[in-house]
Structure 1
Amino acid sequence: MLASRKNGTLYVGVTSDLAGRLLQHQTGTGSKFVARYGVMRLVWFDEYDLVVDAIAREKVIKKWPRRWKINLIEEHNPHWRDISWHLL
């Protein structure tokens, strides 16, 4: 999950290459939505062995109310820090 800032615009997506996809978003080539709203801070992610499980989870989270998404982020990352360093 990406965020523009704490309590800002959120973006939920799925990829098989998180580091590569994040780089695309940060350089403005990932998606028009992310580029438009500056949603480039990685604030939460989860890993799955099967892509079908990842896609299913993405669909569930996208349907959640905003408050639930914020709670998920704050449960693991209360200060909304960019956790992309985990990908190194």
Structure 2
Amino acid sequence: MRTDHPAEDEIRANFEQMLAAVCAGGGLRTDTGLDNETEQALWAIASAHPDITDELVATARAEFAAQLDGSHRRARREALARLDAELDRKAAE
């Protein structure tokens, strides 16, 4: 079991390995450093096997890019902030 987070080069290598695995009909490993959105896109490819479209692969690559650039993390923080504000509003009523 890892106790640290993988470095970006490890995450990139893990993504490519997992993409190759699902394209070949396999599944995903745990502890790859890939976020939920990226993993979901990879599982969509695995579910479609052997009828994998270029669109599914492009979606997985786009989700991975969004992981790397922080878009997924920002979206999760914003969603939590909205939820927190909503809970605060309801508690104040």
Bigger share in strand: 1
State the TM-score, normalizing by the size of structure 2: 0.32
Instruction: Tell which has more relative contact order, 1 or 2 (C-alpha 8 A, sep 6+).
Output: 1
Task: Kindly indicate which of the two structures has a greater share of residues assigned to helix.
Answer: 2
Task: Select the structure of larger CA radius of gyration.
Answer: 2
- With the length of structure 1 as denominator, give the TM-score of the two structures: 0.33
